[in-house]
Amino acid sequence: MTDKTILAAVEAEYERRRTADREEETRRLRKAVDECPEIAELRAVQQSLVRAAVQAVLHEGDSARVSREMAETRDKIAALLEANGHPRDWLEPVYQCAVCRDTGFTWDPPRVPCACRSLLQRRIALSTVGIQTDGETFVGYRTDIFPDDQVIPGLNVTQRAEMRLVRDRLAAWTAAAPAEGQHTVLLQGPSGLGKTYLLRCIANAFAERGIPCVLTRAYALVEAARKRVFSENDAEWEAFLGADILLIDDLGSEPLFQNITIEHLYELIETRQLAGRTTVVSTNLSQDDLRARYTERIASRLTARSSCLIVSLSGEDVRRRR
Ligand SMILES: [Zn+2]
């Protein structure tokens, strides 16, 4: 996607949101009047009071009386809505973003792009590279697929018990994130232990809290870096740099392009850490492998005890077992 098509998609999305807002207002009004016809009468009173207010200003009428009656009418409607189990402001204008009223800009002069706009822009830039999740949750995470019959050599627990600990640790970290301290998470272990599944649990847990996050594969990162270098299209790359929460699956599976992969990976991790953004990386590589493949400076950024949470998985491939 070029920057221009992203901008067009952003405008189209705001247009769609505004239409949806108006439709929702109409739906609410219909339902409210259906449940309580008196609301229709009060809405008519409101409209005549608006006309009266204009007249009062033009002809020096009793504007104090008109505004008192307006407030009374609004209160009556609110009480009726409440009696029917709705919030008191249920018939007020609907916006998904109250700050910009779904225009994408705030107008407390000068015109400034709203915070929701950059989020939307990033999300659209990434829509071509994001991975769809399938509703995976920590609660639904099944540890009974892991063997419970022998302890893992070197650890004093069975694989099932270990996976339970891992799940609880990641769930607790996610619930507290983004928090001070450990902004980078390294989830490492051999393949077949469910790392991708855990990443999706994290992504869905953030999504449930309304925190946008980007889940991608290391391969897509390198593709975005190549587009930046060869096509001078850096929309995707900038989106990865700027995402508040970025989850990278399967670091180490991407191709190592000379002067691209390692340089970009370092820029990505360094920029995100300096900005305090949250990055979660899953990899089959050990810490020694990371050093050998990506250089010491990248490996140490991913494994520094002060800023990174390292979660190691061990045990046997459950896919082979089934
Ligand atoms: Zn907004």
Closest C-alpha among 142, 188, 154 to residue 318: 142
pLDDT value for 126: 60
Q: Cα(119) to centroid of ligand 1, in Å?
A: 9
Q: Cα(74) to centroid of ligand 1, in Å?
A: 27
- Contact present, 144 and 137 (Cβ < 8 Å): no
Q: Could you give the residue ranges of the DSSP H alpha helices within the chain?
A: 3-35, 38-58, 63-83, 115-126, 159-176, 195-208, 218-230, 235-242, 261-274, 287-294, 296-303, 318-321
pLDDT value for 319: 67
pLDDT value for 132: 60
Query: Quick one: tokens of 322?
Result: 């089934």
pLDDT value for 128: 47
Q: Cα(121) to centroid of ligand 1, in Å?
A: 12
Q: Cα(129) to centroid of ligand 1, in Å?
A: 24
Closest C-alpha among 162, 204, 169 to residue 186: 169
Per-residue pLDDT of the chain (322 residues; tens, 9 = 90+): 556 677 888 899 899 999 999 999 999 999 999 999 999 999 999 999 988 888 888 887 788 888 899 999 999 999 999 999 999 999 999 999 999 999 999 877 788 889 888 778 766 766 544 556 677 888 888 888 888 888 887 778 888 888 899 999 999 999 988 777 788 999 999 888 889 989 989 988 887 776 778 889 999 999 999 999 998 888 889 889 988 889 999 999 999 999 999 999 999 999 999 999 999 999 999 999 999 999 999 999 999 888 899 999 887 777 665 4
Residue 73 vs residues 61, 76, 89: alpha-carbon distances, Å: 19, 5, 13
Q: Cα(100) to centroid of ligand 1, in Å?
A: 4
pLDDT value for 321: 55
How open is the CA angle 250-256-262, to the nearest 5 degrees? 85
pTM: 0.62
Q: Cα(135) to centroid of ligand 1, in Å?
A: 27
3-state secondary structure 2-35: CHHHHHHHHHHHHHHHHHHHHHHHHHHHHHHHHH
Q: Cα(16) to centroid of ligand 1, in Å?
A: 14
pLDDT value for 192: 83
